[in-house]
Chain A
């Protein structure tokens, strides 16, 4: 039996090694598929290590530490790994999805040139390393370090097709918006360090349970740390970057913007949950914001025509579920939903990728009857959709059920209602996509067909896991606590209603979609406009940042520096005037001499 710490380090080190090799050996990187093979092998090794680690997890958390920032009185900050059940489960999810997505990318990006492919896999290795480092982080500082690194990977991969202006804009937007949240995170960390004098999770938990953590300002600190999660996990009002992030390649969306990185915020809150428990007000806020985000994103998802954007809004919505559960006190349920969502949302994105790969567009109205042309994709996509809608006995049913139960138990009635409405909406917008794309009356261009094996295998693995996990839970009873027996019935009923609604509207045409739009005109209009949030941020960016910077730049150049130039110009001008008395005529100088002589005589006479 290999030691847990060693396994964790192996899981962390393999992708790092792969990244370093790809970064420093340009010929290897430019080889394209060879680079992919290296990266996939490394991530596969990580997956193996994390699986072994997960199965043989020791009872006690394992922590390894090395000094990172030395100081006079012992290290100020350390780096290390912390392995406990939470980290181990997340590690398996991250390694698994990374591995499958990288494999899938080999097929999805076969058109790319070799150097671009090499770059892609170098970024992927870096991402796997960073995300695993984030999961295994043993302290806040290390968490922040990897937190920013995954943000960097997200930025680089969204902008993978950097020639496209939309991709470039989306990448920068994603970085800025998440960075805005991270400002809160870093201030929170600094403040917490000021309070407690340590970054280490275990020490902080000990202080929290021993009531030795100074309570003053803790609410503010935890709120600031939560802001980081708001940015990363696309909570209202910082969710605007995630839909735009869909400009990146679809496998990237599946990995980073659905399964792993965006869940980092949820993971962060789960990770330091003992600290959040000390601040119930912040938890309540998390629940409310989460529920609101879930509802808001679901309404936005209803009006999108881009298949990836629908999925992106559904990700935002599901992240809202997770956060709501955490805020309501059901940490286990929230984290459980993170894991199941990671599986089926990756599945959905990869399925959508297969569709896009086949038809060459993202617009669902240019697709149709793909169920016959690509049966495998249709089946796995349907599995994913059913899981997302929360249909028994798929994995999503149990986790969503646990979340709803947890929120109800937490006594948050209004958030519960919002989430319940969202269940209906989720089923509706997801089946809208399913009916339009795979069954509907439209017709796609060309001759779409199922993806090659390298793409379908990851799809099937994820589909089997989604079903398998659900069946295992159905048979063996699930981990989430759900006391009120009516919750699963309610959520199932709502989901079925949503599916039925979508079927009536988009398959049978019994209910006209236009009539629905007319009925909800103001809401529809607002949703199409994304509730004006993007416009607001655009205005802030242009008006406040660029405007103020223009003003400061002007002041600096024309006032601050202007004063300097004024002094200089005055010197020049007076020098010029004084220069005039140098006429160059010897006689004028002699006048001066004579005058001086006279003055000396007069002065000596009168003295």
Chain B
């Protein structure tokens, strides 16, 4: 099996994740979308590592997975804090960056 199917899978996964991030209104849904996108990247990295016979990609992937865990933990913590303060996790209501 060549490289292409893996890349297509990763692209689909990425697109699904992006779709989730853009369309979900719930902050937790957005976080899940981000997870999907990150996993798409992981698949790419693994696929390329295998294709180029270079273990660096695998090591990167391990890093990414562990960082993703931290990121999810941090993200969920932020979401919980936001919920405590504003009593909502609807992304539409979180517009503090407004100009």
Contacts and interface: CB of A to CB of B under 8 A. Distances in A.
Direct contact, A vs B (beta carbon within 8 Å): yes
Interface of A: 579, 582-587, 589-591, 594
A582 to B, nearest CB: 3
Given A579-B99, A584-B99, A590 B22 contact: yes
Contacts of A589: 97
Interface string B46-68: 00000000000000000000000
Interface in B18-32: 18, 21-22, 30
21 contacts: A582-B99, A583-B95, A584-B95, A584-B96, A584-B97, A584-B98, A585-B91, A585-B92, A585-B94, A585-B97, A586-B91, A586-B94, A586-B97, A587-B21, A587-B22, A587-B91, A589-B97, A590-B21, A590-B22, A591-B22, A594-B22
B14 to A, nearest CB: 11
Given A587-B30, A587-B91, A582 B97 contact: yes
Contacts of B21: 587, 590
Interface in B77-99: 91-92, 94-99
Interface string B1-38: 00000000000000000100110000000100000000
Given A585-B97, A586-B97, A590-B22, 4 more contacts: A584-B99, A587-B22, A587-B30, A594-B22
B16 to A, nearest CB: 13
Contacts of B94: 584-586
Contacts of A591: 22
Contacts, number: 31
Contacts of A586: 91, 94, 97
**Residue among A584, A587, A591, A594 having the largest count of chain B Cβ atoms under 10 Å:** A587
Contacts of B97: 582, 584-586, 589
B17 to A, nearest CB: 11
B95 A585 contact: yes
Nearest to B25: A587
Contacts of A583: 95, 98
Nearest to A597: B18
A-B pairs, top 10 by smallest CB distance, nearest first, are A584-B98, A582-B99, A584-B95, A584-B97, A579-B99, A585-B95, A587-B91, A587-B22, A590-B22, A584-B96
A576 to B, nearest CB: 10
A591 B96 CA distance: 18
Nearest to B27: A586
Interface residues of B, number: 12
A75 B2 CA distance: 101
Nearest to B94: A585
Contacts of A590: 18, 21-22
Contacts of A582: 97-99
A594 B99 CA distance: 21
Contacts of B99: 579, 582, 584
A579 B92 CA distance: 18
Contacts of A587: 21-22, 30, 91
A518 B61 CA distance: 123
Contacts of B91: 585-587
A500 B89 CA distance: 115
Nearest to B18: A594
Contacts of A594: 18, 22
A180 to B, nearest CB: 60
B43 to A, nearest CB: 18
Nearest to B15: A594
B46 to A, nearest CB: 22
A290 to B, nearest CB: 79
A211 B91 CA distance: 99
A583 B96 CA distance: 9
A589 B22 CA distance: 10
A594 to B, nearest CB: 6
A449 B18 CA distance: 113
Contacts of A585: 91-92, 94-95, 97
B34 to A, nearest CB: 10
Contacts of A584: 94-99
A586 B95 CA distance: 8
Nearest to B99: A582
A586 B25 CA distance: 11
B99 to A, nearest CB: 3
A587 B99 CA distance: 15
A586 B22 CA distance: 9
Nearest to A591: B22
Nearest to B19: A594
A398 B85 CA distance: 110
A592 to B, nearest CB: 11
B31 to A, nearest CB: 12
A590 B23 CA distance: 11
A71 B7 CA distance: 89
A31 to B, nearest CB: 72
A591 B18 CA distance: 9
A10 to B, nearest CB: 81
Nearest to A581: B99
Contacts of B18: 590, 594
A438 B89 CA distance: 107
A582 B95 CA distance: 9
Contacts of B98: 582-584
Nearest to B91: A587
Nearest to A580: B99
Nearest to B23: A587
A506 B30 CA distance: 114
A583 B99 CA distance: 7
A586 B98 CA distance: 10
Contacts of A579: 99
Nearest to A578: B99
B11 to A, nearest CB: 11
B53 to A, nearest CB: 28
A595 to B, nearest CB: 10
Contacts of B30: 587
**Residue among A582, A585, A590 having the largest count of chain B Cβ atoms under 10 Å:** A585
A308 B18 CA distance: 101
A591 B99 CA distance: 17
A590 B96 CA distance: 16
A578 to B, nearest CB: 9
Contacts of B92: 585
Nearest to B24: A587
A468 B95 CA distance: 104
